């Protein structure tokens, strides 16, 4: 048995008075893809954001419980969230490149985290990240052009390059393909599978097929509860819980 990289223990999350996550405990295994699925508003994004403390930036959002990454409590007072968010990177639904060149988009993170000692080293990091995100061949001749000029799928891969440029351990993805066509989606999915050799990936998706295609583990959320968590194959062929079955087969819950 491999040790989990993320351990969540009795996590509760509130927005003001309203509780969005109810006492969730879950272990995430390293170098695998874990999918979070569930109906709109069930708390997938909220829970995902708690894994790199992105919820800290939301007014009135409060969390209880413990989240350990590599046995370290990420909510401990001494934890600096900036390196934490490099270690636990995030890719959003809508690609959000900076209004800068393709090169600068990727170079920004390594620069501020002091990962490159020289400009040639920075170039190597950028090239490596762009290759890692499968974008290098498409952009190597126009690295000085704005990232916003790329297609949606390319922009999303640019954001993935930006995330991996700071050498994260974990990559969180919140509906990364929901704005992409099937070809761009397939490229991202192939990329995810590739990236899972080196990184732990957690993806929120509304596409059951996507969860089934890319992930090894699937967690089903409903109304702030974690209903079922298990091997993806089992979840999609023979789920244990009737609520999971009703959801993935498109029935009324």
Partner 1 sequence: MNEHIVSSYDDELNKLQTLIMTMGTTATEMVDNAVDALLNADKESARTIIDTDRAINAGLSRLTELSQNILALRSPMANDLRKVLSAIQVGLNIERVGDLAKNMAKLPISNEIFIEDIYAVELRKMGKIASGNLFDSLKTYNQENAEEALIVHANDIRLDELHKAFSKSVMLNITKDVENIDSSIHLLFVSRHLERVGDHAKNIAEATIYKVKGEIYEPSD
**Footprint of Mg ion on this chain (CB under 5 A)?**
45
**What's the CA gap between 176 and 186, in Å, rounded?**
12
The answer to whether 107 and 98 are in contact (CB under 8 A) is no
Is 46 a binding residue for ligand ATP by CB under 6 A? The answer is: yes
Range 17-21, long-range pairs (CB < 8 A, 24+ positions): 19/224, 20/46, 20/224, 21/46, 21/47, 21/50, 21/63, 21/224
58 binds, among ligand ATP, Mg ion, partner 1, none (CB under 5 to 8 A by kind): ligand ATP
- Residues 182-211 interacting with partner 1 (rule: CB under 8 A): 208-209
- Report in angstroms how near the CB of residue 58 gets to Mg ion at its nearest: 13
**Nearest to residue 225, comparing CAs of 46, 27, 71?**
46
Residues 217-246, one symbol each (x = binds partner 1 by CB under 8 A, - = not), give -------------------xxxx----xxx
- Nearer of residues 33 and 164 to partner 1, judged by Cβ: 33
**Residue 107 Cα distances to 92, 93, 135, 136, 144, angstroms:** 19, 22, 15, 14, 12
- Report in angstroms how near the CB of residue 204 gets to partner 1 at its nearest: 18
**What's the CA gap between 68 and 66, in Å, rounded?**
6
Collapsed DSSP state (helix, strand, coil) of residue 44: helix
- Nearer of residues 184 and 212 to partner 1, judged by Cβ: 212
236 binds, among Mg ion, partner 1, ligand ATP, none (CB under 5 to 8 A by kind): partner 1
- Report in angstroms how near the CB of residue 41 gets to Mg ion at its nearest: 8
DSSP code string of 117-143: SSHHHHHHHHHHHHHHTT-HHHHTT-T
Is 250 a binding residue for partner 1 by CB under 8 A? The answer is: yes
Strand partners, 174: 204
- Nearer of residues 61 and 115 to ligand ATP, judged by Cβ: 61
In the complex, the residues that contact ligand ATP under the rule CB under 6 A are: 15, 20, 38, 40-46, 58
In the complex, the residues that contact partner 1 under the rule CB under 8 A are: 208-209, 212, 236-239, 244-246, 248-253
């Amino acid at each position: 048995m491999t040790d989990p990289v993320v351990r969540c223990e009795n996590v509760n999350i509130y927005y003001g008075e309203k509780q969005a996550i109810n006492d969730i405990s879950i272990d995430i295994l390293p170098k695998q893809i874990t999918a979070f699925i569930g109906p709109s508003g069930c708390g997938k994004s909220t829970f995902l954001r708690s894994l790199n403390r992105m919820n800290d930036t939301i007014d009135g959002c409060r969390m209880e419980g413990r989240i350990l990454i590599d046995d370290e409590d990420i909510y401990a007072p001494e934890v600096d969230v900036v390196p934490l968010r490099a270690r636990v990177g995030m890719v959003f639904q809508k690609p959000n490149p900076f209004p800068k060149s393709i090169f600068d988009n990727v170079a920004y993170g390594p620069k501020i985290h002091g990962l490159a000692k020289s400009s040639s080293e920075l170039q190597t990091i950028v090239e490596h990240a762009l290759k890692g995100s499968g974008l290098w061949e498409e952009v190597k001749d126009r690295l000085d052009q704005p990232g916003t000029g790329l297609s949606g799928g390319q922009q999303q891969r640019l954001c993935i390059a930006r995330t991996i440029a700071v050498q994260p351990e974990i990559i969180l993805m919140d509906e990364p393909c929901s704005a992409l066509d099937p070809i761009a989606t397939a490229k991202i999915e192939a990329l995810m599978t590739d990236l899972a050799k080196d990184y732990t990936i957690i993806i929120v998706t509304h596409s059951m097929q996507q969860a089934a295609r890319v992930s090894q583990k699937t967690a089903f959320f409903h109304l702030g509860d974690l209903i079922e968590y298990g091997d993806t194959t089992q979840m999609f062929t023979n789920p244990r819980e009737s609520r999971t079955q009703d959801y993935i087969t498109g029935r009324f819950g």
